[in-house]
Amino acid sequence: MGREGDGPLDILIDDGKIATIGKALQTMGEELDLAGKLATPGMVETHIRLDKACILDRRAPEPETGPTNHAARIAEAKRGFTVEDVHERASRTLKKCIMNGATRMRTHVEIDPPDGLISLDGVMQAAKDYAWAIDVEVCAFPQEGLTQVADTDDFLFEALDREARCIGAAPGYDTDHNGQIDRIFELARDRSIPNGP
């Protein structure tokens, strides 16, 4: 912090936020000497899947034959998910991210049938548990298709009602790639979701 040659600087924190950075700042509050350590902004995890975290041990290793095989293996694993299971795994992963300096995160969460909103509920509970340390933005998306699965529109809308901040797409897994992209943008416009993060 500061220009080369400035030496160590003080950081004044007020109500949990940086108020001032400078030399020899005076305060009546608690002082913490970091002995010249580097202070940086928190890390941002831009793409993670908290709903599918920590599941490698649930399936015997198989050779990957492309995205279709991968999706089938994940779909099979998701059938065993419960809200409690997703919450526990998401919490475990959030703790690791926090301990490694992440303070913001975007997680993609699958919300398609037959599991519906199980993963969303588990991830949202974990995000609330750790909101004191990390801001988690949830992006709900239909991994297993949108245009060929009638209920998925309803799941996307309900995910937004439950405080998911955005919706996404996985067009490579849909029978109508372009149709899924068009539908996601249509749904986003219906809910006035802004473009970009």
Look at residue 9 in the predicted model and tell me its pLDDT.
87
Q: Check residue 171 and report its DSSP letter.
A: G
**All domains of the chain, ordered by start, with CATH?**
1-39 (no CATH), 43-190 (3.20.20.140)
* Structural element, H or E, at residue 25: none
Look at residue 60 in the predicted model and tell me its pLDDT.
58
Look at residue 118 in the predicted model and tell me its pLDDT.
95
Within 10 angstroms of residue 107's Cβ, the number of other Cβ atoms is 26
Block means of pLDDT (10 residues each) for the chain, length 197 residues? 66 87 86 86 93 83 60 77 97 96 95 88 97 96 85 89 90 90 90 70
The closest alpha carbon to 123, from 157, 82, 158, 161, belongs to: 82
Tokens read off for 180: 């899924």
Look at residue 56 in the predicted model and tell me its pLDDT.
83
* Structural element, H or E, at residue 177: helix 177-190
* Global pTM value: 0.79
Q: Check residue 176 and report its DSSP letter.
A: S
Tokens read off for 14: 């007020």
Look at residue 71 in the predicted model and tell me its pLDDT.
66
Look at residue 1 in the predicted model and tell me its pLDDT.
46
Look at residue 67 in the predicted model and tell me its pLDDT.
55
Could you give the residue ranges of the DSSP H alpha helices within 24-146? 67-78, 83-99, 118-129
Look at residue 145 in the predicted model and tell me its pLDDT.
83
